[in-house]
Amino acid sequence: MVEKRWFPVVYMFTATALVSSIVLGLTGFTAQRVKANEKLTFEKAVLSVLPDVYDQSKKISGLELHKIFTEKVSPPDDSSFGAYLFKQNGQIAAYALPIEGQGFWAPIKGIIGILPDKKTITAIAFYEQNETPGLGAEIAKPQFRNQFKGKVIKDGEKPFTIARPDVALDESSVHAITGATQTSTRLEAIAYNDLKNWQEKMK
């Protein structure tokens, strides 16, 4: 029995099959929820960069959030080049441009809100990032993100700068996070690329 040579092989196979099927079952069972969570995180990020869509100091449920999103935000069309549109009375009130690129550990994905003048930033939000907790991951905190409000995308080589914390700021720069140089430079590069591309296409 236990001494038979094939026993360990069969044992291992059975154990693996059993365990894998439980895990697969659980993954299948939660798959929809996980997907819905991801979608909701994205929608929340989009809404949070648009001006005056909803009161962000209040906590609202995922369902309400989704409802606001479907009511107020229209998906990118031919003239917006990838940016989501927020319309009021038929007029475009703001763009929400998804940005994406390599962070320090994993891709950073975020949204930049831009006014109809195509150069004033309303806000920034991130819906996917895996930066170092406590350091790079601070980009997702309000302290960092609030700096972006009202900043202007410049023409030219460097449309936007994330400066060292001891440097004076101008209308197109914000302060980086101390101790997270890599995240900051990479985020800056992502913002350069995507903002420049988008502005060129929108001209």
Partner 1 sequence: MSRSSKKSDIGKLASEGLWQNNPIYCQVLGICSTLAVTNLVLNTIVMCVGLVFTTALSSMTVSLLRSFTPRNIRMMVEVLIIAFYVIIIDVLLKAYWPEMSGNLGPYVGLIITNCIVMGRCEACGNSNPPVMAFFDGMFNGLGYSFILLIIATVREILGMGTFLGFGVPYFSTPYWDKWIIMVMPPGAFFMLGLIVWIFRTIALPKESK
CA distance 202 to 199: 5
Selected binder of partner 1 within 135, 152, 163, 202 (CB under 8 A): 135
Selected binder of partner 1 within 85, 111, 123, 137 (CB under 8 A): 137
User: Strand ranges (DSSP E) for the chain?
Assistant: 73-74, 84-88, 91-102, 107-114, 121-128, 161-163, 173-175
Report helix, strand or coil for 183.
helix
CA distance 97 to 94: 10
Contact string (CB under 8 A) for partner 1, positions 21-40, x = contact: -xx--xx--x--xx--xx--
Angle at which helix 62-72 crosses helix 7-49, to 10 degrees, equals 50
Q: Per CB under 8 A, which region of 69-77, 79-87, 128-136, 194-202 contacts partner 1?
A: 128-136
Cβ 27 to partner 1 shortest distance, Å: 6
Which 8-state DSSP code applies to residue 148? G
130 lies in the binding site for partner 1 (CB under 8 A): yes
Which 8-state DSSP code applies to residue 103? -
Tokens read off for 157: 């080589």
Q: Per CB under 8 A, which region of 77-85, 94-102, 124-132, 154-162 contacts partner 1?
A: 124-132
- Which residue bears the tokens 């023409």? 155
**C-beta closer to partner 1: residue 93 or 128:** 128
**C-beta closer to partner 1: residue 17 or 167:** 17
Binding site for partner 1 (CB under 8 A): 2, 7-8, 11-12, 15-16, 19, 22-23, 26-27, 30, 33-34, 37-38, 41, 105-106, 128-130, 133-135, 137, 178-179
